[in-house]
Structure 1
């Protein structure tokens, strides 16, 4: 979407103060820990763009809260596994030899959107060290969330997602749906239904670039929209889910623990049905 398109589709100017108002009305509060997934095009034309969205979130949370965003870089991975799109087999050896290693400071996000890419470079933000599943965080629990992110099981029980879970954090889907809800991968892990696989990425070890192998799970985020629909309908979960409008974007604020636990339970009960 071009800026002109955004202006034409926006009813009134969206500013930091209007975003702060909308976030508070949705239920975001001072001191919360929240992982945010966003779509700038759904919010509408924002005065100041992604910077304004981030500053509005920080204003509501205050430094006593914690703001987290995914900073994934799935392209820092084995080119033989790439499917969307794949590369010619004749290129793969050259990619192995030349791909830059993951660097928390320099490696850009992939497919995370403009807000997440801007956030990772913001003052006071720290990024975790996983080559494909990193997260960026700012605020009170920043170091607890991003430090010690292991290579193995990068979205599991030692990951930043697990730290948010332990902190009783929230998930804010700002203009996006459950298909973008990374926390549901932790629910997949808790279901004990996933297949273990091996991945590899280039990293810096002892000052040298090296390809390293690590254990991961065979995730299935294509299920998340259906699970999310069930979560929204479940009467027992209504107190853990709030709906509203941020700018012009339909948005959801939910308990991260609730959606993780719901996902795990849902998969345990219905796993076989996914393959019929």
Structure 2
């Protein structure tokens, strides 16, 4: 069966119909496979998003880094079954984080990396959970991302909350809803853990350890289902290209998660 090819103008129209407004601040999670064939590919999707936001709007994407950490599930999966020598070789070959050059992890999709590489993009400084942004508020939103605060009050997520940003899912779901993580920081006395990653330091490549809130997205699917059907911040849904898409206020998602998590996790 022939699948249609969408133009930038069609996607911009779909985004406007969904509720993306000029001048807004928008964080996007996207599966371009779900969007379907687009004339111009990922760059055209970025153009459509910026077109819907207008010149006064700001586009934000997570551009997280997983490949430079030995405390991540991705690392544990990579070294599972390896001997000591092979594991040491993997660790020795892990690249240090470079905010100017380190790509977004492949699991985040091609849109995130396309935004990061777009001229004029700003990137936050965290070696594991950075964000990238395009637009007049990009520098303000990306500034001050403390290296020992993944997704809390000293991260772009809190700045997006303050900016009354919206979240857009293009063919993705609540199981990877980054906004919910800010709710994890805002519960009373959240559990903490140690993280490690490779960074560039004045003396060269080095391992760095730090303590932060123990992030857990294993129940985000259930959290998102309850949020979507709560009536308090009902997401708008509709097609963007071929992708079933959702649009909602980030503040609604964070506030709901902050109340939902203590009632559903054994804190």
Question: What runs of 5+ residues in structure 2 fail to find an aligned partner?
Answer: none
Measure, in 1, the Cα distance between the counterparts of 2:263 and 2:217: 17
The number of residue pairs the alignment matches comes to 263
Structure-2 residue corresponding to 1:85: 78
Q: In 2, Cα distance between the equivalents of 1:160 and 1:37?
A: 15
Give the C-alpha shift of residue 79 in structure 1: 6.3
Question: Which segment is superposed worse, 30-39 or 186-195?
Answer: 186-195
Comparing both structures, which one devotes a greater share of its residues to helix?
1
Could you list the per-position Cα deviations for residues 125-183 of structure 1 after superposition, in whole angstroms to 9, with x for gaps in the alignment? Answer: 11112111011111121111212211112111110111100101010011000012111
TM-score between the two structures when normalised by the length of structure 2: 0.92
- C-alpha distance after superposition, 1:64-106 (max 9, x if no partner): 1110001011111126862233352323333444432101122
User: Which residue in 2 is equivalent to 1:4?
Assistant: none
Structure 1: distance between partners of 2:47 and 2:72: 40
Q: Which residue of 1 aligns with 2:258?
A: 264
- 8 Å Cα contact 2:5-2:38 kept in structure 1: yes
Residue 116 of structure 1 is matched in structure 2 by 112
Task: Say what the alpha-carbon RMSD is for the aligned residues.
Answer: 1.8
- 1:146 paired with 2:118, answer no
Determine if the alignment matches structure 1 residue 251 to structure 2 residue 245: yes
> Equivalences for 1:1-276 in 2 at 5 Å?
8=1, 10=3, 12-78=4-70, 82-87=75-80, 88=82, 89-110=84-105, 111-192=107-188, 194-206=190-202, 208-238=204-234, 241-272=235-266
Name the TM-score, length of structure 1 as normaliser.
0.89
- Hey, what's the Cα distance between the residues in 1 that align with 2:204 and 2:216? 34
> Is residue 9–residue 44 contact of structure 1 (8 Å, CA) maintained in 2?
no
**SS of residue paired to 1:120:** helix
User: Gapped runs of 5+ residues in structure 1?
Assistant: 1-7
Paired residue secondary structure (2:145): coil
